Amino acid sequence: MKKHQTVIVVDFGGQYTQLIVRRVREMGVYSEMVPWTTAEAKIRETQPNAVILSGGPRSVLEDCAPTLDVAVLKGIPTLGICYGQQLMAQMLGGKIQQGTNREYGKRRIRVAENSKSEDQSPTTDHRSLVTDHQSPITDHRSLVTGLASDQVWMSHGDDVLEVPPGFTVTASTDTCPIAGMENEAEQQYAVQFHPEVTHTPDGKTILHRFLFEKAKLKGDWTSESFIEDQVTAIRAQVGEGKVLCAVSGGVDSAVMAALLIKAIGERAMCVFVDHGLLRKNEAEQVKETFIGHFHANLKVFDAKDQFFTELKGQTDPERKRKIVGEQFVRVFEQHANELKDCDFLAQGTLYPDVIESGSPTAAKIKTHHNVGGLPDWMRMKLIEPLRWLFKDEVRAVGRKLGLPEDMVEREPFPGPGLSVRILGEVTPERVHMVQEADWIFREELKARGQNKGIWQSYAALLDVKSVGVMGDERTYQQPIVLRAVASEDAMTAHAVNIPFETLEHVANRIVNEVQGVNRVFYDLTSKPPATIELE
């Protein structure tokens, strides 16, 4: 398998760390996030082409603050961001002080005079998994020289008071005397602000300069190379064995299945478990999609009664996720005769699933059924070819594999299905209420052309009741919550501005057509602080 150039992003617990990874990948360079607790071993083992030290909530002046032996970075181009700059300065002989003026939000930087140089000719093109990117940038200058905008995004309390030996100051602000520093001879660079966020308009230029001017990378990670690598890896891992491909009809499992079929053909056995927690008419749609497009020998197992029995009385969302994950595997084990010789289970796990399920530096937001919900006793070995991809990267790979656009652009749907959109106990009756309300909401958005640009839209059911009046009679029924968000990768999201007239019409239809519902709300909360799913 071809070895791609790699950038390791060391995670010190910063809220934007995964965004750094995304920005690097957008420029056609493979990047991976590694917790600081295991970073030294990972760097020694893989010898990456560059390293980026992330921001973080701690102070380098604290006892037991996250750290890294800078000796492992010797000879590797390194960029420190925020906490990463402070750590680099401290470890290399500079001085840090607790800031007297904390900086949060937008600031203007001044570029130091000795960091400027003349522009030269543009460098070569660099393509990514998702987009084509042509570099307008030149060589032999600091990361911050000649930017079109001097606006940056700050989020720090401590300051670098003195740079380490060999470093020069490249930028400052009114309250931060060292907002950037570099040691060109040692290929060590740092900025106090966050170039990865959109609030730093020229942040991508800064990252691009580091990757292609300073680290001399080529940008060789594309959809085509990813597919080639995964096909090779799958064949090596599986050998002559068979793989059970768990499909749901969503884009993740569809791309996963297409990769497996491309790699091992009919030895990829596609299995669809109807757990009764799908959207209205979705089970039939999944069957039509897979049999019609893949011509796959799709096996369908109806396990609705089994899932509802196990979910009876359960109200905790984490527990519901684990039950769903475990029951999937139990269904596979129960049909072992039909799935004989399947030693592997393939899933459409994505990078956000892995991050949100927790790591040594990232808090567990929720257990994704395909990450932390699988039981320890599972016999089959896991294959997760999409585990390091974000959603937009998966869609790009799907297009290269020839999947139809309606499948590639399908809205994400959680593996545990409607169980995480029903607060409280999951019953067939409550699932039916959500299915009908969800169908009305999405049907109206599509009919009005207002579904374009929406990452995810759905209806959820709250576990409360409220008083209403219908036909001059008192009702005591449950409320439906509508949610529609825009996002790039599900790591952050914001509510979509749906016209009030549409929401009013949808609400009127739901309370009239869905029995047991007498109120409808629209969720305006962004992620963070909320999650995309309501649970």
The residues assigned a catalytic role are 82, 194, 196
Report the alpha-carbon distance of residue 253 to residue 400 in Å, rounded: 15
The burial of 345, by beta-carbon neighbours within 10 Å (0-12 exposed, 13-18 middle, 19 or more buried), is given as buried
Q: Are the C-beta atoms of 256 and 296 separated by less than 8 Å?
A: no
Closest by alpha carbon to 526, among 485, 482, 480, 481? 485
State whether residue 384 is helix, strand or coil.
Answer: coil
Q: Are the C-beta atoms of 232 and 1 separated by less than 8 Å?
A: yes
Q: Which residue has the tokens 């600031």?
A: 107
State whether residue 518 is helix, strand or coil.
Answer: strand
Closest by alpha carbon to 85, among 54, 114, 61, 50? 54
User: Which residues have a Cβ under 8 Å from the Cβ of 374 and sit 6 or more positions away?
Assistant: 325, 326, 328, 329, 382
Amino acid at the residue 287: K
User: Which residues have a Cβ under 8 Å from the Cβ of 468 and sit 6 or more positions away?
Assistant: 474, 475, 476, 477, 518, 519
Q: How many residues does the structure list for the chain?
A: 535
Report the alpha-carbon distance of residue 413 to residue 248 in Å, rounded: 9
The burial of 31, by beta-carbon neighbours within 10 Å (0-12 exposed, 13-18 middle, 19 or more buried), is given as buried
- Enumerate the β-bridge partners of residue 34: 10
Q: Are the C-beta atoms of 206 and 144 separated by less than 8 Å?
A: yes
